[in-house]
Structure 1
Amino acid sequence: MKIYFQKLIPDAVIPTRATRQSAGFDLSLCGQQPVTIQPGETVMIHTGVAVVLPEGTAGMVYPRSGLASKHGLALANCVGVIDSDYRGELMVPLYNHSGEAYTVSPGERVAQMVVTPVLLPEVEEIPAGKQLPESERGTGGFGSTGKTAGGENAK
């Protein structure tokens, strides 16, 4: 499998994996100027790159763990989804959860994109009032399976 990156801006950094076994391709701030994110603020970070992903895959964008644990930065949308037919610039919405401003330097790695297979099912509507197929769980949700493995609802 191959993926392709294209620089949309000359000083963009082509995403790479830190090691051969790293799952994520690191996405970096593009440009010549640092970007400061104030407490409680969301800033769109430009990467300056586009990607071509194989059909049947998606790029899942996650925060880098060091930015979150050391500086309180996370993706504003929790996880970004890059569809295989998207050809625009990869952007990273970073939110500052901390009480201090954080400055992202040009070239700094801010997120990681993991390429994953996706299912592309056809959709068929079940008419209102028609019984849905039975399942072990039924309509139970939000804690209905208990707190512990083999807990109060285990069979």
Structure 2
Amino acid sequence: MARGFEIVSKYADQGLHLPYRTTKQAAGYDFEAATDFTLPSIWKLNFVKILWQLRHGETSSEADLDAAAKTLKPYLVPTGIKAYMNDGEYLMIANRSSNPLKRGLILPNGVGVIDADYYDNPNNEGEIFIQLVNLGIRDVHIKKGERLGQGIFTPYLTADNEAQVTTTRTGGFGSSGK
């Protein structure tokens, strides 16, 4: 098998669905939430206060800046899914087109990149999480089984003059670099 999806062992008996395409011409496989999840609005914490202070040249305390940074940190919504693929491929995670418009949800980095070696490496089963930030004015309650994002299998190219890479991934989320 060249590429596909599996349910991670933690969710084996939870009734999750593997990602699926909704039409025959759809490029993306829809990912669903593995659990109920609440994404808080960025507007309800210290975010507005910090923006006002920064705009008006007031010095914000280190604690306020830390609180603002925590507020703007994306949430990792579990999917309970892992993906396997060929060398030379990755799974791109993209937002659903309805998320920003209808719910105020964005992927803070635009897209997610799931490398082939994220799957079943020594210290990580490879569960895929979808990073989301809620820009809406209300908290968003996501129900288990709601579609959050889409995954697209994509080939990639490497540079001709690249130094040989010999490092092997041994961890989970964010483990390929600092």
Superposition TM-score, scaled by structure 2 size: 0.64
Residues 65-98 of structure 1 deviation map (CA, whole Å, 9 limit, x = unaligned): 1111111101122110011221110110110011
In the other structure, the counterpart of 2:7 is 7
Is 2:104 the partner of 1:100? no
Matched AA of 2:21: R
Residues 16-54 of structure 1 deviation map (CA, whole Å, 9 limit, x = unaligned): 0111110001111003xx211111153211011111012
Shift of 1:4: 2.0
Is 2:75 the partner of 1:43? yes
Shift of 1:122: 4.3
Shift of 1:58: 1.1
* 1:52-131 mapped onto 2 (5 Å cutoff): 52-87=84-119, 88-124=126-162
Stretches of 4+ moved more than 6 A in 1? none
State the identity %: 33
**Cα separation, 2, equivalents of 1:36 and 1:61:** 20
Distance 1:51 1:124, change over 3 A: closer
- Give the CA RMSD over aligned residues: 1.7
Number of residue pairs the alignment of both structures matches: 123
Any unmatched runs of 5+ in structure 1? 126-155
**Relative contact order (alpha carbons < 8 A, sep ≥ 6): 1 or 2 greater?**
2
Query: What is the DSSP-based 3-state SS (H/G/I as helix, E as strand, rest coil) of the residue aligned with 1:47?
Result: strand
Name the larger-Rg structure: 1
**Cα separation, 2, equivalents of 1:29 and 1:61:** 14
In the other structure, the counterpart of 1:149 is none
In the other structure, the counterpart of 2:65 is none
Any unmatched runs of 5+ in structure 2? 43-70, 120-125, 164-178
